[in-house]
C-alpha cells in the first residue's frame, strides 16, 4: 500500500498534457473559416478560362474535397535545431497546409481541360484573336 506523500510525489512528477515545459513544443493548428461562395467563385473562374460555367452538381463535386482540406487547417510546428554554421540552437518553424489554392486551381484546370479539350481549345483561339487585334491596333 502506498502512503499519501509517495502518491503526491509521483503525481507531481507526471506532466499533464498541455501543461508545463512540454506545452511549448505542441503543434499549433489554425482552422480558418472560408465562405463556400468564395470556393464557388474560384472554381467558376477556372472554368471561365474555357469560356463555360460549371453546373451545381459539378461544383459540389469539386468543392467537397476542398472543404475537407480546409477543415484540416494549417499546422505549425516549432523545433529547436542546432545551426551547423554557428553551433547555436535556433527555433525552426514549419507550416503545412492541406489546401493550397494555386495547386488546387492548376489541378482543376488540368482536369477540366481533360474533360472538355475542345472548349479550352476554342477559348484559346478566341483569346489569341483578341490579342492579335490589340497588337494590330497599336494597343498592348
List the pLDDT tens digit at each of the 140 positions of the chain: 568 788 777 777 775 555 555 555 788 889 888 899 999 999 999 988 887 889 999 999 999 999 999 999 999 999 889 999 999 999 999 999 999 999 999 999 999 888 888 777 776 666 665 666 676 777 55
Q: How far apart are CA 79 and CA 120, in angstroms?
A: 46
State whether residue 55 is helix, strand or coil.
Answer: coil
Q: Would residue 20 count as lying in a domain?
A: no
- Look at the chain and report how many structural domains it folds into: 1
Q: Would residue 18 count as lying in a domain?
A: no
Domain range for 58 = 27-72+101-134
Instruction: Give φ, ψ of 77 to 5 degrees.
Output: -125, 145
CB count within 10 Å of CB 39 equals: 20
Q: How far apart are CA 120 and CA 124, in angstroms?
A: 6
Q: How far apart are CA 109 and CA 105, in angstroms?
A: 6
Q: Would residue 123 count as lying in a domain?
A: yes
State whether residue 92 is helix, strand or coil.
Answer: strand
Q: Would residue 111 count as lying in a domain?
A: yes
Amino acid at each position: 500500500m502506498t502512503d499519501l506523500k509517495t502518491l503526491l510525489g509521483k503525481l507531481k512528477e507526471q506532466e499533464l498534457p498541455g501543461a508545463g515545459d512540454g506545452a511549448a513544443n505542441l503543434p499549433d493548428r489554425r482552422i480558418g473559416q472560408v465562405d463556400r461562395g468564395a470556393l464557388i467563385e474560384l472554381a467558376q473562374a477556372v472554368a471561365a478560362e474555357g469560356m463555360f460555367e460549371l453546373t451545381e452538381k459539378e461544383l459540389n463535386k469539386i468543392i467537397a474535397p476542398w472543404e475537407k482540406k480546409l477543415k484540416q487547417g494549417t499546422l505549425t510546428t516549432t523545433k529547436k535545431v542546432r545551426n551547423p554554421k554557428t553551433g547555436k540552437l535556433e527555433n525552426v518553424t514549419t507550416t503545412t497546409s492541406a489546401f493550397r489554392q494555386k495547386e488546387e486551381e492548376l489541378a482543376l484546370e488540368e482536369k477540366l481541360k481533360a474533360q472538355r479539350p475542345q472548349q479550352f481549345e476554342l477559348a484559346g483561339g478566341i483569346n489569341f484573336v483578341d490579342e492579335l487585334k490589340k497588337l494590330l491596333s497599336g494597343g498592348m
